[in-house]
Amino acid sequence: MQISKLAPIGVLAASIAGGILFFYLSSNLSKERKKVHIEQMISELINFVIFIWVGKIAINFSLFVQDPLAIFAYPSDSRSFYIAVLCSSVSLFLKSKKGRENVVSLLKSFLPVFLVGSFLYEFIYIVFLSKGGPNGYFILITIVLLLFLLLNGRLSTKLLFVTILAGWCFGVLFLTFIQPFVTVFGYIIAPWFVGLFFIVNFFIIFRKRDF
């Protein structure tokens, strides 16, 4: 039972590590720049995990007040995930305003990490943890990842990001209509969140001249 509880955390960590390794091996940046970008990504990922816990505490605040340790028994749900995305976005915005974080560089570095990490996460569950055959999201993330690999270097960075963003978002939206639910890294994703995610990132991409 303990192993089964820890399995999702291990799969997620291994998937993200695989995505970061792919970025390190495939990026044409200097070793120094790659190291800086990886440190930034890891820092933001740690913050994201902290924000998920903040979201879980906020959602179950009455229980947390009565028995703080009991909160550890509650799994993080989609609401915690949404709160973490919101908090991370606000944190990045404030850091960007203060000149402490380059959001554009972070997005450029994180895109391949997210795509490869998502692919590995789904692949591990399907092949090694006997979760059935390929699901809709696995097929989608495979197509989007292949599209990224084919277009990377052939399109401008801005156009590449818009293409991948649109492909992923509209693909997930399509899946929400033909499947009971769609999960990303184990979290159920609602259609409204995908739409909002697309609009916000689309705005960031076209607002930044250095993208």
Do the strands 183-184 and 187-188 form a parallel or antiparallel pair, or are they unpaired? antiparallel
The Cα–Cα gap between 38 and 5 comes to: 28
Q: Specify the range with the lowest mean pLDDT, choosing from 68-77, 102-111, 135-144, 149-158.
A: 68-77
| pLDDT tier at 2, thresholds 50, 70, 90 | very low
Residue-wise pLDDT tens digits, 58-76: 888 887 788 777 777 767 7
The Cα–Cα gap between 17 and 203 comes to: 29
Q: Specify the range with the lowest mean pLDDT, choosing from 21-30, 37-46, 125-134.
A: 125-134
Q: Is the pLDDT of residue 117 over 80?
A: yes
| pLDDT tier at 113, thresholds 50, 70, 90 | very high
The maximal CA–CA distance of the chain, rounded, in angstroms, is 57
The pLDDT value recorded for residue 97 is: 78
Q: What is the DSSP string of the chain?
A: -HHHHHHHHHHHHHHHHHHHHHHHHH--S-HHHHHHHHHHHHHHHHHHHHHHHHHHHHHTHHHHHH-GGGGGGSPP-HHHHHHHHHHHHHHHHHHHHTTS--HHHHHHHHHHHHHHHHHHHHHHHHHTS---S--HHHHHHHHHHHHHHHHBTTB-HHHHHHHHHHHHHHHHHHHHHHSS--EETTEE--HHHHHHHHHHHHHHHHH-TT-
Q: Please state the rounded mean pLDDT for residues 173-194.
A: 92
- Structure tokens of 21? 């390794």
Q: Is the pLDDT of residue 6 over 80?
A: no
Q: Is the pLDDT of residue 133 over 70?
A: no
Residue-wise pLDDT tens digits, 73-111: 767 789 999 999 999 988 888 887 777 667 778 888 899
Q: Please state the rounded mean pLDDT for residues 122-145.
A: 86
The Cα–Cα gap between 87 and 70 comes to: 24
The pLDDT value recorded for residue 1 is: 39
